[in-house]
Amino acid sequence: MTITVEYRFHPLFGHELKVLRAPRIADGAFEVVGPDDVTLKVPRWMTLPESRCLQLSSEATVSMEALLALASLLEAANIPSCTARAMTATEPRRNDEADSARAQRVEASVDSASHYDAKRQGDCLDGRGDQRRLERKSR
């Protein structure tokens, strides 16, 4: 069995390759033997005739449906979404107290993480943390 790479931006575009293993799942990849007898994987979608029609554009285009899905995903992960804010521009912005409290929590967590890193690395104010670590390892 062989496949042809139809995706025009793949370095092996137009090459017919011998298949060693077919994908087990619909969006998987073929394991093939490349021109230099090297084993490669080629995604199934790159072998479909439709992938030959894909082109680059000077302007990015994203559907509203995709943007809404991304906003929902970010919201579910508790990550503030600029897209969601832009789409709900009529809603009042959070008050400054909430933003200030959030900034203080972030600052405190960064400070504690830095303190933890310094302790973990053995850094000392006298700058001899690395030297002490080396001395301990050589014992």
Kindly report, residue by residue over 86-130, the tens digit of the pLDDT. 555 555 555 566 666 655 555 555 444 444 444 434 434 444 444
> H helices within 11-78, ranges in order?
64-76
**pTM assigned to the model:** 0.45
Indicate the Cα dihedral angle 67, 69, 71, 74, nearest 10°.
Answer: -130
- Average pLDDT score over the chain: 74
Could you tell me the sign of the dihedral formed by the alpha carbons of 3, 5, 7, 8, in that order?
A: negative
Q: Going by C-beta distance under 8 Å and a sequence separation of 6 or more, which residues neighbour residue 50?
A: 6
Q: What is the pLDDT of residues 19-77, one digit of tens each?
A: 999 999 988 999 999 999 999 999 999 999 999 998 888 888 888 999 999 988 888 88
Q: Which of 12, 25, 15, 95 is nearest to 4 (CA)?
A: 15
- Taking the C-alpha atoms of residue 135 and residue 73, their distance in angstroms, rounded to an integer, is 49
